[in-house]
Homo-oligomer: A and B are copies of this chain.
């Protein structure tokens, strides 16, 4: 059986899960806590991070963007990366936007302060870092508005990897109660469209014991 090593509330793992679900590819989930740096896991992935996918043929795939590009090549239906080099470039630009810029400016801080430090008690959370991340998030929500006022989805009128990346990141921060959707109607409508997909259902139903999301988290109309 195909196996995906993942950890809860990790955007990259959520991305891999949604892509697998969109492509209707069966897999079993296995929790890996990367901070334990298990020897056997490091042998499979010296980077030590999740998601890590083991294919039925034994191939070991890691690095979120490498995993989803592989899935797109192996399981082309439905296409999630556009049809032309120009479309793919736009989708990949947005994948990079969330995986890079949004991660660095927003998600990394909130996940590190609220999940790693506060919830897993691995250090003293910094309210400055949280404040800076929340401040930075507004610019990103404005950019989401800009994109979704023009098209139904981030890279155009078709659902794509760009939406999966963005919504996976936002879903983690939304679980933490950190996304203020007020005043971002276009972005909110887009997020409702994405979270209504069957592929997102397992994520929205998942709960971490001791860490409760706000009530609107799994509501499809919020």
Residues in A lying within 8 Å of B, measured CB to CB:
46-47, 49, 59, 61-67, 69-70, 73-74, 85-86, 88-90, 92-93, 95-97, 100-101, 143
Contact = CB atoms under 8 A, between A and B. Distances in A.
B73 A59 contact: no
B143 A93 contact: no
B74 A92 contact: no
B69 A88 contact: yes
A47 B101 contact: yes
Contact of A89 (B69, B93, B100): B69
15 contacts: A46-B143, A47-B101, A59-B86, A59-B89, A61-B89, A62-B93, A63-B93, A63-B96, A65-B92, A66-B90, A66-B95, A67-B89, A70-B85, A70-B86, A74-B85
Copies per complex of this chain: 2
A98 to B, nearest CB: 11
B86 A69 contact: no
